[in-house]
Structure formats: C-alpha cells, structure tokens
Amino acid sequence: MNAFDPTDPTDPLAAFTALRTPEGEALLAELRAYDPSQELATATRLRRSHPAPLVSAALGQARLRQRAVAKFGAEDAYRMFFTPNGVEQATRTSVATHRARRFAEAGVRSVADLCCGIGGDALALALAGISVLAVDRDPLTAEVARANATALGLDTLIEVRCADVTEIDTSAYDAVFVDPARRGGRGRIFDPEAYSPPLSWATAAALTAPRAALKIAPGIPHEAIPAQAEAEWISDAGDVKEAVLWFGEGFAPGSYRATLLPAGATLSAPAALPAPPVGPVGRYLYEPDGAVIRAHLVADVVERSGGRLVDETIAYVTSDEPYDSPYASAYEITDQLPFNVKKLKALLRERKVGVLTVKKRGSAVEPEELRRKMKLQGPNAATVFLTRVAGAPTMLVGHPVRPDVRASS
C-alpha cells in the first residue's frame, strides 16, 4: 500500500491508505466523539496540525463509523473502516451472524464470499470458525475488507482478493455466498436480473457448489425464486432486512421460512400455503411480522390462532380468543367504524385519547396527516388501523394486548 501517495486528494485508495498510518489512526481515535454539527470548526482546528486531505478523509470516515454503529455496534464500528456504499449495503451483524450459524450447522467449514463488500458477512463467517475467501472487484472495497479482517483479529481466517467474481474458481470451498449489488446510479434495483452480477449468474454459481446462499432483496417476487432454493426472509426487531436463497444439502428446496431476530423464532412451510379463510372482525387483531408476510406465511398464523383474515387481500388476522405468538403483534379491538375522519375524531375525543398510533394496510391515507386532523387531547392512548374489511374502507380502534392477558400459543 505504500506505493500510493497519501497526500493525493483525488485518489480514494490513497486517502484510505493514509488513514491506516499512525497519524491517520490517531486522528480517527480523536474523532470518535466527533459532532457533525461542528464539522467546520473541527476541520479548521485539525488542519493546523495535519494535512488537509488527511483531515478530510478522517472526517468522512468518522461520519461513516457513526452511521455503522446501528449495524455493527459501537465496539466494532469504531475499529472498522467503511465506504459510503459499504455502510449502505453491508449486512447488520445480527443477520450476518444468523446466516453464518446456518452455514456452520450445515457442516460448512470454508466459504467463497463473492461480492464481499466491506466484509461484514466474511467477519461473521470467520467468527463462526469458517475460513473465508472474500472477493470484490473494487480495489478500495477490497482493501477496506482486508483492513476490517485485521482490525477484528480475523485475518488468519479471511483471505481477501480483488478480482471479478465471475472468474473465481470456487470448487475448493464447502459453500458459496453471493451478495450481488442491488443499488445503481439511480438507487435501488428491483429487477433481479439487473443485480450485479445478475440473479441468474448467482443461481448458476450456487448450483455448482455443495451448498450456497444468495442474499437478495426482500421484495423479490416469489415467481423469481428458483425451484431448487429454500427461501428465507429475515427481520430484525420487526424490520425486514433481507431474503436469502439457500441451496444444497441440509436445506429444503421449494420451502418458505421467516426468521425473526433477535429471538431467532422461525416459521416455515414446505410449500406455498392455501388461502386462509376470511371473516368478520373479532375481539382481537394480529399484525404479522413483515418477514412472515413476505414469506407468504400469514396463513400459518391464521391456522395457529384459530382465526381468519379481515379481507382476502389484507395481512391482518382476527380471532375471538387471545393468541400469543412471536410471529404477530396482538391488539384488542374496541371499535369498528366505516372510514370517516369526523367520526374517528369524535370517538377519540370521547375516549380522551392524547396519544394515537396509526397503522395502515390497504389505505392511501397518510398516518401523520390523519393524526394532525384528530387534534388529540387527553391522558389515554389508542391504536387505529386503517384498512379494508370485506373490501370496505374501515377503521379499527383498539390497544396492544398486555402479555399477562394473552393465551399461550
């Protein structure tokens, strides 16, 4: 890396090299508590004793580390290095750890990590005791991945290679992991064949390996999922993060799975489930986790709860008896009204509701706009669901069910 000029502001790789010098590392340590609102004053002060390009690079890295804390935690984020795209596209630690655990449980001891980015998945695999070949075609990204392996003390298990992933021989590895780029110059890419590399290439690479996993966008159409794959949707703290296609021994082709982190609860079905029954709104309403919805496993929640859907196109489940499940949030419904803003406002005023949570499915109304119109006042709280019931726009008013009044699933 010493071949690069660390004072050249036009060379991102040179700027990154400068950050790894003793002066650069000391500067980054000083910027751990950096306040972005004070950037101009901070930059002016630091440029009195450090080269301006180095200060600029350090400030940029400090901002990226702050953003990365949400995915990697403060302890690791402030030891690691990032690029703007790397922070945006990297797998958060909880999800990468789950995936690495599934590989390890399948007996995998070596993985070719293709399109490794800044190395988030490679780090999780190595922490699971798996040796990794991490490949990325971008020289800066590959250097960042290598630096992260060293920073976390995992460089003996991770080999980083800057190369075109389509030219890598993976035959010596127990498994292949492919994380195609799903962002372009215009933002997110929704067509799997527009991924880089395309899903068809990634699938072909997966089918040549004993085991494989492909990270894809959670919104992938089910018809685009290869028949040879087990499809898993993963949420973390209720937020759907990604989908993974699993191939090879130990996985179930054609099956669907929803995994909810951090608990690790998993719901699965060997194939697409039949359409669940539809019926009137009961005393309780259940909002399935997003991973359950994406995996088309709402029918499983319906069956387990002994309930029904409120509308054949809406993923709200209802029942007359309470049901406790990690796969859905439970609410007790107190009122059902045809959609009418004035009637809702009058009801909330009568109930002295000052805090209103607005949820919606199948409604074009914006929650914030509705909340403003309510002019809330009072000591009580409520939740309103804007949805359709048997095709009709409907408002359901209620509150979360306390755990002590739920029935055991």
The pLDDT > 90 percentage for the chain reads 85
Mean residue pLDDT of the chain comes to: 92
The β-bridge partners of 209 are none
> What pLDDT shows up at residue 188?
72
pLDDT one-digit tens code per residue, 322-358: 999 999 999 999 999 999 999 999 999 999 999 999 9
pLDDT beyond 90 at 109: yes
Confidence of residue 174 (pLDDT cuts 50, 70, 90): very high
Write out the H or E segment, with its range, that includes residue 201: helix 199-207
How many Å is the maximal CA-CA distance in the chain? 74
- The DSSP secondary-structure symbol of 174 reads S
Confidence of residue 405 (pLDDT cuts 50, 70, 90): very low
pLDDT one-digit tens code per residue, 221-264: 999 999 999 999 999 999 999 999 999 999 999 999 999 999 99
> What pLDDT shows up at residue 408?
37
Phi-psi region of 119 (alpha: psi -120 to 50; beta: other; left: phi over 0): left
- The DSSP secondary-structure symbol of 276 reads P
pLDDT one-digit tens code per residue, 372-399: 999 999 999 999 999 999 999 999 999 9
pLDDT one-digit tens code per residue, 279-312: 999 999 999 999 999 999 999 999 999 999 999 9
pLDDT beyond 60 at 409: no
Do 394 and 314 form a contact (C-beta atoms < 8 A)?
no
pTM given for the model: 0.89
> What pLDDT shows up at residue 407?
42
In whole angstroms, what separates CA 99 from the centre of its chain? 12
pLDDT one-digit tens code per residue, 43-94: 999 999 999 999 999 999 999 999 999 999 999 999 999 999 899 889 999 9
The β-bridge partners of 336 are 396
CB atoms within 10 A of CB 194: 13
Closest CA to 136 of 156, 154, 121, 151: 121
pLDDT beyond 90 at 8: no
∠355-313-287 over CA atoms, to 5°?
Answer: 35
Confidence of residue 205 (pLDDT cuts 50, 70, 90): very high
Do 391 and 362 form a contact (C-beta atoms < 8 A)?
no
User: Residues 111, 213, 199, 248: what is their CA dihedral angle, to the nearest 10 degrees?
Assistant: 100
∠315-316-322 over CA atoms, to 5°?
Answer: 140
CB atoms within 10 A of CB 163: 13
The pLDDT > 70 percentage for the chain reads 94
**3-class secondary structure, 248:** strand
Higher pLDDT, 407 or 307: 307
pLDDT beyond 80 at 184: no
> What pLDDT shows up at residue 183?
66
Could you give phi then psi for residue 160, rounded to 5 degrees? -105, 135
pLDDT beyond 60 at 5: no
